[in-house]
Structure 1
C-alpha cells in the first residue's frame, strides 16, 4: 500500500465520511476482534488515524460530493451534485 504524501511534517489529511459506524470503527481499535473480515485497506486507514496522519469527519450523505463518482443517483440529485462540483452541462449547439 502506498504511503501518504503530505507536504509538511505533522500535516493531517481530512476525510469526510458519511458513515458514523465506519468512523467509530476506525477510531476504536477495541472493535478489531469483531471486524477481522474488514479489508486490508481499512486497517491501513485505521493505522493512519491512530498515527494522526488522517482525520475523519462526519459528512451528511446529501453533501457527500464523492457519491457522484461512486453511486447510481436519481437524475435530480445527480444534476445538483454535478453543479456543486462545477461541471456544466454540455450544449451541443455550441459546436
Structure 2
C-alpha cells in the first residue's frame, strides 16, 4: 500500500481515513519515540482485509510547536508494510 505522509498523519489524528474507496482505521498507536528533537510513532491499521504498519514523524519540542513531516515533505510517499500479529517470546537475563 502506498500513502502520502499527510494521509498517514490524518489517519493518526482522525482514527480513520477513506483512501481509494477503502476505509482505513487505526488498530494501535505506538508511543512517540524520542531521537533528539525528532520523534516517530508507529501506527497499525487495517483496510478491513489486511493489516499494515506505518510511521509518522515530527520535530520540535514540548516547549514549542511540533512540525510534522508532511509540513516539510508533503509529497513524500511512505511505503507501508503489510503485517500480521504473532506472539513473540523474549529471553533475557534477570537478577535472582
TM-score range, shorter chain: under 0.3
The structure in which a higher percent of residues are helix is 1
TM-score (norm 2): 0.23
The structure in which a higher percent of residues are strand is 2
Larger Rg: 1
Relative contact order higher in (CA < 8 Å, ≥ 6 apart): 1
TM-score (norm 1): 0.23
